[in-house]
Structure 1
Amino acid sequence: MSYHPEQELLKQFATGDIDSAHAAAVATHIETCSHCRQLVAKFEEEAAEDLVASGTEGAISDNDLALVFENMMNDITTLDADYSRPKVRSAASIEVNGKTFKVPATLKPFVDRMGEWKSYGGKVFTSNIDLDEDCKVSLLYISEGVQVPQHTHKGFESTLVLHGSFSDENGFYAAGDFIREDGETKHAPQTSASQDCLCLSILTEPMIFTQGVARIFNRFGKGMYP
């Protein structure tokens, strides 16, 4: 894979200061990307060191530590879980356009929250995922030999390729690639004549079409979500 989350996003993932949509996208990416996985481990270690350092500056009393330990043990002993069996995460399956795709286990909670597939001309399909967050999250399927109208963004568009590939003016993207675009980008994603594509799409603001008849959608509010 050639495209990765920027380091700031990986740091936010390591410290937990990240929204659930991007957290799931990054978690899925690092499952198959050793480079980003190592960076996350490094950032987690740095965050732990910072936490220890801040703790020594404001010393915690023995009584406070004892209370924390007691509360932790109470929580553990009251949990209804069997820790003798390792947790096994399984992938989920989705069906779109007559095809079945396996979705990584890291995204299985998203599959459980999927809405109905919407079709645009029988070539592009989207299913919105209800996360009750400010960003718009969806699964996006593009059939073979299709070009999405050129557009830009008022906010950010994060895309994680789950299956197949697509290209635009800036590059070629295959399974596992993570791409993040903003208002400085104008692009028209397209699939090849022999390859379709399934992506996870995260939009913080609607798309703004910049060419052709699709610009009519810009008149309906601030733009359009897929």
Structure 2
Amino acid sequence: MIENLLTHHDHTLLAHFVRYKVTSQIYAWPLFETFFSEIFNRDEWLCLFDHIFSNHPSFVLYIITSYCINNRSALLRVTELDDFKYFFHHRNPISVQTILTEAYRLSEVTPVDIDPKRMIESFQPLTRGQYPVFNKYPKFIVDYQIQEKEKLRQEEMNYIRQRELNVEMYRERQQRRHEEESWLRQQQLLIEAEEKRRTLLLQEDTRVKEQKN
């Protein structure tokens, strides 16, 4: 959904993200995960959530989009993935009012067909007496966590395979080294045996000559 908003409102910035493999897990998830606490101070954060709770839940997506667009000049100069990650985990010199003003503007001019309101339900009050059944977790968050676990599992499997390969290569090198050392010893023994044979022949020739004389 955020990609749709960026595509419509700032295609250049989104293209820059795509070019450097910056996904929504890098420019949106950190803001969701920390609920904006890393990029705003306490007073700004309280002000921000006054607006979040008084609007449709989709307003959060407009805030994230606004944050990206308002920082586009800085972001367009970033080319390293680690720098992008750092950017969305630290405060930047921009006021919460600027972010909110742009977020409201975006929510008003966004075409209906890409408006997140169509896909996100409004806030619902808790029922009295007991909590309601909750089974509408944000799918993209759950999917992201599954992807991260699968990524870690694959990395671990790759590490194990690489380690086994390294051990096998080491064993093969050791085996070749032992074979080479064995061959060299055999060659040395053959050379020594040949030298001994020649010495004996020379001694025998000398003895025969002495007997003839």
* TM norm. shorter chain > 0.5: no
Question: Larger strand proportion, structure 1 or 2?
Answer: 1
Q: Which has the higher contact order (CA 8 A, sep 6+)?
A: 2
TM-score, structure 1 normalization = 0.18
